Amino acid sequence: KQEVTQIPAALSVPEGENLVLNCSFTDSAIYNLQWFRQDPGKGLTSLLLIQSSQREQTSGRLNASLDKSSGRSTLYIAASQPGDSATYLCAVYSNYQLIWGAGTKLIIKP
């Protein structure tokens, strides 16, 4: 059974730092992996989708990588800003379902 883990559960860093969020999964047979952002009291916003054949995707200051063989994905945020404060969730599409991690709550201190 596919399981998705995000560590740490919470992270607090000063503004301007580059940071990495981690996502690991137990079964490498995935179709794609998605990263989402969730703001308090809001729904989720899709940030990046990486197909299983890809190694990385970039959008602005965000870069997501995928290593299926090791069951890991990272979300790299460059030059962090207070507006990046949110919960970041990853989800893998596997066996026709999205399996979700519990998320990492990110706080960027001004």
Partner 1 sequence: NAGVTQTPKFQVLKTGQSMTLQCAQDMNHEYMSWYRQDPGMGLRLIHYSVGAGITDQGEVPNGYNVSRSTTEDFPLRLLSAAPSQTSVYFCASSTYSNSPLHFGNGTRLTVT
Q: Which residues bind partner 1 (CB under 8 A)?
A: 4, 9, 31-32, 34, 36, 41-46, 49, 89, 91, 93, 96-103
Compute the distance between CA of residue 17 and CA of residue 85 in angstroms, rounded to an integer: 13
- Local structure of 82: helix, strand or coil: helix
- To partner 1, the closest distance from the beta carbon of 24 in angstroms equals 13
Return the number of the residue (79 or 107) whose C-beta is nearest partner 1.
107
- To partner 1, the closest distance from the beta carbon of 1 in angstroms equals 10
| Two tokens, residue 70 | 């090791």
Return the number of the residue (99 or 106) whose C-beta is nearest partner 1.
99
Burial call 27-42: b when 16+ CB within 10 Å, e when fewer:
eeebebbbbbbeeeee
Return the number of the residue (36 or 80) whose C-beta is nearest partner 1.
36
- To partner 1, the closest distance from the beta carbon of 16 in angstroms equals 29
- To partner 1, the closest distance from the beta carbon of 46 in angstroms equals 4
The residue among 74, 28, 21, 81 whose CA lies nearest residue 53 is: 28
